[in-house]
A and B are shown apart, each in its own frame.
Chain A
């Protein structure tokens, strides 16, 4: 299958870094997921062929890591931490707030395809709990109001892109 030049560049740079080919699997899947939005059957077959693995082995790895998905997700994946530090400082309220605000539950996606919501385990931002991660961006010391702004910022970003 055809993947972007950037992906190919990264893939070929990585492939020689490790003693076994399969070591590049996880980073490759992450790069591919960033491009495609999710890991398609076609991509799984492609990676299996490139790395001499079976489709099953690729799926095993994907199912192990929660940040890899074979289902389409919204443009912005809102991951709210409810592990202990965040929980003590209101993480669950943030999650509930997001559910109400976006009208979706855990692992749901808004109808406009803009947001997905996920309750996640520790994202390593305990010092600034409660925290959430949207794609690769961290948002810390959240309150429901602050969360509203965060979501609004992403909406605005999309509108701006659409308008220009």
Chain B
């Protein structure tokens, strides 16, 4: 758009036509205070804090609702404006209790800051403040009515942002009050966005309220460990008797791929970490019972048994099951451990998306995958299968807000009337299981129409959908586990006919994609290289087994036949997930590392207390392929990161850990020549080193040493380390030739908003919401605006 000339506080500036005055001020480095204005949501003009003087306009104007005009001359601060804002604060404080010393928001409250800035500590009002008791609206949302300043942010984020519309305003004038949708409680997605966006302490969270003060915490931004979307969550931590305690999860750092968004799991479901059932000591089965022991004893036993079995029967006799919730470095290390130390390809994990087939379908295509950020910007989106609102909340947010803010066109094809249909330009309701037929239709095969047509979706609707899709450009195509193998390949072929098309293949867990990328497959090396190939890996590692190994079901069969002498389970619960007969492994030596005594512990001979993603550093790859950092936040004494455990087991087997983890490299890589002009500036120097992958890795327990190897060897992971370390997501390319698997090995997690596999079972926040829901009759979803 054409630029407009304006003068702000005497500075002559230009800004694109259509810019809001408040945004123009912000871009010019001038802060105009506001409570109700929030970028990305509808304008409210409720708080009147952003009053500015515009020349030739008699009264002060709200900068948040004024669009800049040619020649506009604006003053943003003057005694008159200062007095106006001070009066606004005084009015807001008319009923606002001054309970800042006990208020959760005290210390990070926008009203507190404004009162401080405008010195509105004195008040002309002598009436008694209107007090109302606090209300609990849901297990996680509390409302303190007198603290509310009626900025409507919560109402807008809930309605416009989340499409939930659970909050509203009742009454008017001085009696106005924020109201939940069900008289005295909320029925919503419990995302907690209203709490995060509240400028004061009116909305507080059940998980955090009255626990601590903001300044007592250290804030660490890391990647959420729940679904496959990879939101950035900021964890507030403080010292505790047991190590470092995580007190709060929120979204104060808005630079992540999730922007303003975080769902209930990212915000509250960190609380599995201090569940009292957490294992904090290694357990060894003695006389049939798991008995507490020392790490030393456990490592000695595992090292000896693994070495014995390897020596006697070879690696074939050991199976390894990895996790979709451990870091890329741990996954890579685990498969390297299996292939190099144990000498076996018997490694698998719980598959939730057909990534090897995805890699195969995309082989040779560049820029064919969409990042989470791309989804928010795409001019058109096609969603086949899955229910993003429940299973991929961030993806749903991106889609919804892309439609709302960018008028993107959304096409939804599903066997269920999923909530995203409300944003859809076209929604095709197809019979369950007919997704493959639909792909055929898109490919031009009209013979499948009879199967797809239903009462809800007539023939013409399907044909017009196809025509519209063919007319799109830069379409992002998102599909769930309904499409696998050849069917997925077909979709990719059809979709690629649309110019600029990009794809997203959905996997369910936080690092499902990472586990697949890192080669937790019996027949695939990292980067989807068949084990029979992989020259670079052979050279690097000095040889590896050629024959594909066993899948999880095959491991069970082998164990039953007495051929699998040992099983090593890292952060997975195969017994419950695959409904395995626990007696199948009666004769095998089973080692498991996890946080809790899951069903798999029933068959374990040694249980090692592992750490979760919030207690380690490393990287995660989300379902779109965005690589992000994990930063260590919490700490529970007695546990160890899976990375360290794997290395120690290898060491106890007598393996030279230098061949497993290439650590120590940074020491000789930097002989001082890299300092140059930076000489003497220790901090900048170390930043530079890190950015170039040269930071010192002094121990074999440093995941960054493995990340070096990953970036060197895994196709698609050669991204900027410097940008990654600065906390920015980096889109990886899905590489390698890929392979077609038996589609039945893919078992979708089917978690919804309030469940998260094993982690969810041990989360108080999620369980309290589920319990609360069970007490109420099922209601249908709310209508859209």
Contact residue among B165, B167, B172 (Cβ-Cβ distance under 8 Å from A64): B172
Q: Is B72 an interface position by the 8 A CB rule?
A: no
Contact residue among B172, B179, B181, B785 (Cβ-Cβ distance under 8 Å from A52): B785
Q: Are B181 and A56 in contact (CB under 8 A)?
A: yes
A53 — which chain B residues lie within 8 A by C-beta?
A: 783, 785
DSSP majority for the A interface?
helix
A49 — which chain B residues lie within 8 A by C-beta?
A: 783
Q: Is B171 an interface position by the 8 A CB rule?
A: yes
Q: Is B784 an interface position by the 8 A CB rule?
A: yes
B782 — which chain A residues lie within 8 A by C-beta?
A: 54
Shortest Cβ distance from residue B373 to the other chain A in the assembled complex, whole angstroms: 31
Q: How many angstroms between the C-alpha atoms of A52 and B165 in the bound complex? A: 12
Q: Is B723 an interface position by the 8 A CB rule?
A: no
B171 — which chain A residues lie within 8 A by C-beta?
A: 63-64
| In the complex, residue of chain B having the shortest beta-carbon distance to the beta carbon of A60 | B168
Q: How many angstroms between the C-alpha atoms of A141 and B166 in the bound complex? A: 47
Contact residue among B166, B170, B180, B783 (Cβ-Cβ distance under 8 Å from A63): B170
| In the complex, residue of chain B having the shortest beta-carbon distance to the beta carbon of A49 | B783
A48 — which chain B residues lie within 8 A by C-beta?
A: 783
Contact residue among A22, A57, A59, A63 (Cβ-Cβ distance under 8 Å from B165): A57
Q: How many angstroms between the C-alpha atoms of A56 and B165 in the bound complex? A: 8
Q: Is A96 an interface position by the 8 A CB rule?
A: no
| In the complex, residue of chain B having the shortest beta-carbon distance to the beta carbon of A66 | B172
A93 — which chain B residues lie within 8 A by C-beta?
A: none
Q: Are B170 and A54 in contact (CB under 8 A)?
A: no
Shortest Cβ distance from residue A9 to the other chain B in the assembled complex, whole angstroms: 25
B669 — which chain A residues lie within 8 A by C-beta?
A: none
Q: Is B667 an interface position by the 8 A CB rule?
A: no
Q: How many angstroms between the C-alpha atoms of A49 and B169 in the bound complex? A: 20
Q: Is A140 an interface position by the 8 A CB rule?
A: no
Q: How many angstroms between the C-alpha atoms of A48 and B181 in the bound complex? A: 13
Shortest Cβ distance from residue A119 to the other chain B in the assembled complex, whole angstroms: 15
Shortest Cβ distance from residue A61 to the other chain B in the assembled complex, whole angstroms: 9
Q: Are A56 and B784 in contact (CB under 8 A)?
A: no
B168 — which chain A residues lie within 8 A by C-beta?
A: 54, 56-57, 59-60
Q: Given A63-B170, A63-B171, A64-B172, A57 and B785 touching (CB < 8 A)?
A: yes
Q: Is A55 an interface position by the 8 A CB rule?
A: yes
Shortest Cβ distance from residue A50 to the other chain B in the assembled complex, whole angstroms: 10
A22 — which chain B residues lie within 8 A by C-beta?
A: 785
Q: How many angstroms between the C-alpha atoms of A54 and B166 in the bound complex? A: 8
Q: Are B179 and A54 in contact (CB under 8 A)?
A: no
B165 — which chain A residues lie within 8 A by C-beta?
A: 54, 56-57
Q: How many angstroms between the C-alpha atoms of A54 and B179 in the bound complex? A: 13
Contact mask for chain B residues 746-785; partner A; CB cutoff 8 A; 1 contact, 0 none: 0000000000000000000000000000000000001111
Which chain B residues (162-178) contact chain A, with CB distance < 8 Å? 165-172
Q: Are B170 and A60 in contact (CB under 8 A)?
A: yes
Which chain A residues (20-65) contact chain B, with CB distance < 8 Å? 22, 48-49, 52-57, 59-60, 63-64
Shortest Cβ distance from residue B180 to the other chain A in the assembled complex, whole angstroms: 8
Q: How many angstroms between the C-alpha atoms of A59 and B783 in the bound complex? A: 14
Q: How many angstroms between the C-alpha atoms of A65 and B39 in the bound complex? A: 30
Q: Are A52 and B170 in contact (CB under 8 A)?
A: no
| In the complex, residue of chain A having the shortest beta-carbon distance to the beta carbon of B180 | A56
Q: Given A54-B181, A55-B181, A60 and B169 touching (CB < 8 A)?
A: yes
B785 — which chain A residues lie within 8 A by C-beta?
A: 22, 52-54, 57
DSSP majority for the B interface?
loop
Q: Given A54-B181, A55-B181, A63 and B172 touching (CB < 8 A)?
A: yes
Q: Are A59 and B784 in contact (CB under 8 A)?
A: no
| In the complex, residue of chain A having the shortest beta-carbon distance to the beta carbon of B782 | A54
Shortest Cβ distance from residue B104 to the other chain A in the assembled complex, whole angstroms: 26
Contact residue among B166, B170, B172 (Cβ-Cβ distance under 8 Å from A59): B170
Q: How many angstroms between the C-alpha atoms of A57 and B179 in the bound complex? A: 10
Q: How many angstroms between the C-alpha atoms of A48 and B167 in the bound complex? A: 15
Shortest Cβ distance from residue B179 to the other chain A in the assembled complex, whole angstroms: 7
| In the complex, residue of chain B having the shortest beta-carbon distance to the beta carbon of A55 | B181
Q: How many angstroms between the C-alpha atoms of A52 and B169 in the bound complex? A: 18
Q: How many angstroms between the C-alpha atoms of A55 and B780 in the bound complex? A: 13
Shortest Cβ distance from residue A104 to the other chain B in the assembled complex, whole angstroms: 22
Q: How many angstroms between the C-alpha atoms of A64 and B168 in the bound complex? A: 11
Q: Given A48-B783, A49-B783, A56 and B172 touching (CB < 8 A)?
A: no
Q: How many angstroms between the C-alpha atoms of A56 and B168 in the bound complex? A: 6
Residue among B165, B179, B783 with the highest chain A CB neighbour number at 10 A: B783
Which chain B residues (139-182) contact chain A, with CB distance < 8 Å? 165-172, 179-181
Contact mask for chain B residues 185-197; partner A; CB cutoff 8 A; 1 contact, 0 none: 0000000000000
Q: How many angstroms between the C-alpha atoms of A55 and B368 in the bound complex? A: 44
Shortest Cβ distance from residue B403 to the other chain A in the assembled complex, whole angstroms: 16
Q: How many angstroms between the C-alpha atoms of A75 and B372 in the bound complex? A: 60
Q: How many angstroms between the C-alpha atoms of A55 and B172 in the bound complex? A: 18
Q: How many angstroms between the C-alpha atoms of A17 and B180 in the bound complex? A: 31
Q: Given A63-B172, A64-B171, A52 and B783 touching (CB < 8 A)?
A: yes
B166 — which chain A residues lie within 8 A by C-beta?
A: 56
Shortest Cβ distance from residue A85 to the other chain B in the assembled complex, whole angstroms: 21
Shortest Cβ distance from residue B421 to the other chain A in the assembled complex, whole angstroms: 13
Residue among A49, A56, A57 with the highest chain B CB neighbour number at 10 A: A56
Shortest Cβ distance from residue B655 to the other chain A in the assembled complex, whole angstroms: 62
Shortest Cβ distance from residue B313 to the other chain A in the assembled complex, whole angstroms: 65
Shortest Cβ distance from residue A69 to the other chain B in the assembled complex, whole angstroms: 13
| In the complex, residue of chain A having the shortest beta-carbon distance to the beta carbon of B164 | A54
Q: How many angstroms between the C-alpha atoms of A79 and B179 in the bound complex? A: 28
Q: How many angstroms between the C-alpha atoms of A143 and B766 in the bound complex? A: 65
| In the complex, residue of chain B having the shortest beta-carbon distance to the beta carbon of A21 | B785
Shortest Cβ distance from residue A64 to the other chain B in the assembled complex, whole angstroms: 5
Q: How many angstroms between the C-alpha atoms of A57 and B168 in the bound complex? A: 6
| In the complex, residue of chain A having the shortest beta-carbon distance to the beta carbon of B170 | A63
Q: How many angstroms between the C-alpha atoms of A54 and B186 in the bound complex? A: 13
| In the complex, residue of chain A having the shortest beta-carbon distance to the beta carbon of B181 | A56
A57 — which chain B residues lie within 8 A by C-beta?
A: 165, 168, 785
A52 — which chain B residues lie within 8 A by C-beta?
A: 783-785
A59 — which chain B residues lie within 8 A by C-beta?
A: 168, 170, 179
B179 — which chain A residues lie within 8 A by C-beta?
A: 56, 59-60
A64 — which chain B residues lie within 8 A by C-beta?
A: 171-172
Contact mask for chain A residues 62-83; partner B; CB cutoff 8 A; 1 contact, 0 none: 0110000000000000000000
Q: How many angstroms between the C-alpha atoms of A53 and B783 in the bound complex? A: 6
B784 — which chain A residues lie within 8 A by C-beta?
A: 52
Shortest Cβ distance from residue B225 to the other chain A in the assembled complex, whole angstroms: 33
Shortest Cβ distance from residue B269 to the other chain A in the assembled complex, whole angstroms: 27
| In the complex, residue of chain A having the shortest beta-carbon distance to the beta carbon of B155 | A60
Q: Are A54 and B783 in contact (CB under 8 A)?
A: yes
Shortest Cβ distance from residue A19 to the other chain B in the assembled complex, whole angstroms: 14
B169 — which chain A residues lie within 8 A by C-beta?
A: 60
Q: How many angstroms between the C-alpha atoms of A52 and B783 in the bound complex? A: 6
B181 — which chain A residues lie within 8 A by C-beta?
A: 54-56
A55 — which chain B residues lie within 8 A by C-beta?
A: 181
Shortest Cβ distance from residue A156 to the other chain B in the assembled complex, whole angstroms: 37
| In the complex, residue of chain A having the shortest beta-carbon distance to the beta carbon of B172 | A64
B172 — which chain A residues lie within 8 A by C-beta?
A: 63-64
Shortest Cβ distance from residue A106 to the other chain B in the assembled complex, whole angstroms: 15
| In the complex, residue of chain A having the shortest beta-carbon distance to the beta carbon of B167 | A56
Shortest Cβ distance from residue B46 to the other chain A in the assembled complex, whole angstroms: 14
| In the complex, residue of chain A having the shortest beta-carbon distance to the beta carbon of B784 | A52
25 A-B residue pairs with Cβ-Cβ distance under 8 Å, sorted by A, are A22-B785, A49-B783, A52-B784, A53-B783, A53-B785, A54-B783, A55-B181, A56-B165, A56-B166, A56-B167, A56-B168, A56-B179, A56-B181, A57-B165, A57-B168, A57-B785, A59-B170, A60-B168, A60-B169, A60-B170, A60-B179, A63-B170, A63-B171, A63-B172, A64-B171
Please give the residue numbers on chain B whose beta carbons come within 8 Å of chain A beta carbons, in ascending order.
165-172, 179-181, 782-785
Please give the residue numbers on chain A whose beta carbons come within 8 Å of chain B beta carbons, in ascending order.
22, 48-49, 52-57, 59-60, 63-64
Q: Which 7 pairs across A and B sit closest by C-beta, in order of nearness?
A: A60-B168, A56-B168, A63-B170, A56-B181, A64-B172, A54-B165, A63-B171
Q: A52-B783, A54-B181 are in contact. List 7 more A-B contacts (CB 8 A).
A: A48-B783, A53-B783, A54-B165, A54-B783, A56-B166, A60-B169, A60-B179
